[in-house]
Amino acid sequence: MQNEWWRGAVIYQVYPRSFKDSNDDGIGDIKGITEKLPYLKSLGIQAIWVSPFFKSPMKDFGYDISDYREIDPMFGNMADFDELISKAHASNIKIIIDQVFSHTSDQHEWFKESRASKDNAKADWYVWADAKDDGTPPNNWLSIFGGVAWQWDSTRCQYYLHNFLSEQPDLNFHNEDVQKEVLANVKFWLDKGVDGFRLDAFNFCFHDKQLRDNPPKPLEARTGRGYAPDNPYAFQYHYFNNTQPEMLPFIEQLRKLFDQYENITTLAELNSEDSLGTMAEYSGPTRLHMSYSFELAADEYSAEHIRNTVEEFEKRVTDGYPCWAFSNHDVARVMTRWIGADAPASAAKMLNTLLLSLRGSVCVFQGQELGLQEAEVAFEDLQDPFGIAFWPKFKGRDGCRTPMPWSYTRNGAFTSQHMKPWLPVYEPHLMQSVESQEAIADSVLNHFRTFMAWRATVPALSLGSIEMIHGLKEPILAFWRRHSSGDVLCVFNLRGNVENVHVEGQDLTLEPYGYLVEGGTSD
């Protein structure tokens, strides 16, 4: 299993801008991550997923890359990153980095050359198309961030495709030179010693070469992340601007490259019309190791939804491996999204235990181990272009990205007390700071550590199969984790009322947000 360390691993997502500022400029950095490695080690995690730290104009805060092989100075330099890898490995922690394949920044040298003319060496490296006879865009595709997905360029007198911001032009993966260069960039970081890649918006790499219109979506079907009814992106089935069949040969090329190195893993973010189907298609022995979608990072919260999602994955994704997440840098924190603004600490303990008890690997977003709620960010403090565009109905992603609270002091020791951080530290988070919780034996943080330590000794929780228990009424979710060393029974009360339940021959009384995880034989 050493070569498959990622099976059942707990991966901690660090959003560098907001984790720890080591040089008091108000922005988190790589040295800040290195400084906090002892804390991360104390959590019992196996890997850190580091969100983008590459050179970027930061229109989308690093997901608009202008140089895949350079570190943006605001985060440090290559020596800092080398030190992070070295010290993380010394602590037996793997490093997974974000890669954005589908698009670049419009400040990338590739795009500057591509837009210069229609006949230069990189003219076909991006998705360019002529206008219709009336000057309108070539088809009806829309951007996730609102509005049409085509931007007119007056130099080439053509439109270019952008599934996200207009400053994030889409690469043309139908061009084999683009694929080769992307693979070369991956190899660069593999040679630097990274242990894996989280692949952002991965199914957006290829587009329909015929540029066919997406069909309309009825009102009742306009649900899901980024598909709020007030966002026009929700008005279409996105059959042609992503998730194309040409993706599969490229994935197999990518896997062949990964297999030249030891102990590498891949984790792809997938968001398609049939995300579980895409996960099944993209995963397997010759494709991706793992993938995740937003089924459990969505608004829907019920025992039925979680049970159905897990069972549907187990049925459809036979060769792949799951990675579950309740929160990340793109969605409201799970405590607020699922429980509410006044969610108690007991709910955080229950949700963390539930996540860590599911079959598969787990992504924990920074601050989730503290039970942090979604921060309120005033309009004048917003940084996220998505939130600014759709305010006030949708407040964007800044509320989950506010700085990590390390102590109960001004700015939470994220940065110095006199410095203004890039996003305000949310005052209510200070009472939940690491320093505050470490002094309380039964805090959310210490509960997380205790459960993680026990989980590491019980093979059923990290490597066992899963078997959902049916016939229970809301809000009770129950399942078995099965393993030859011993089975574990998991029962969760998802709501804030006392629940009496008969499950597997036991009569249980579960307190509000209570749970039972018992059984198994420790290693």
Annotated active-site residue in 21, 29, 106, 269: 269
Beta-strand runs (E) in 426-503: 465-468, 476-482, 488-493, 499-503
Q: How far is CA 178 from the centre of its chain?
A: 25
Q: What is the DSSP letter of 148?
A: B
Angle, vertex CA 119, rays to CA 117 and CA 122, nearest 5: 80
Query: Is 259 noted as a catalytic residue in this protein?
Result: no
**How many Å apart are CA 176 and CA 521, to the nearest integer?**
51
- Residue 234 structure tokens: 């929700």
Pair 100, 65: CB distance under 8 Å: yes
β-pairing, 47-50 vs 94-100, is: parallel
| Cβ atoms 106, 151 nearer than 8 A | no
Amino acid present at 30: I
133 is catalytic: no
Q: Closest Cα partner for 10 from 267, 200, 199, 225?
A: 267
Q: Name the DSSP class of 336.
A: I
| Helix H or strand E encompassing 199 | strand 196-200
Active-site entry in 200, 208, 384, 398: 200
Q: Quick one: tokens of 185?
A: 């960039």
**SS3 labels along 238-278:** CCCCCCCCCHHHHHHHHHHHHCCCCCCEEEEECCCCCHHHH
Query: Can you tell me the distance from the alpha carbon of 506 to that of 310, in angstroms, rounded to the nearest whole number?
Result: 24
- Beta strand segments in 125-175, E: 128-129, 150-153, 158-161
- At a CB cut-off of 8 Å and minimum separation 6, what does 516 contact? 489, 490, 491, 508, 510
| Both structure tokens of 164 | 């996200």
For the annotated catalytic residues, the residue numbers are: 200, 269
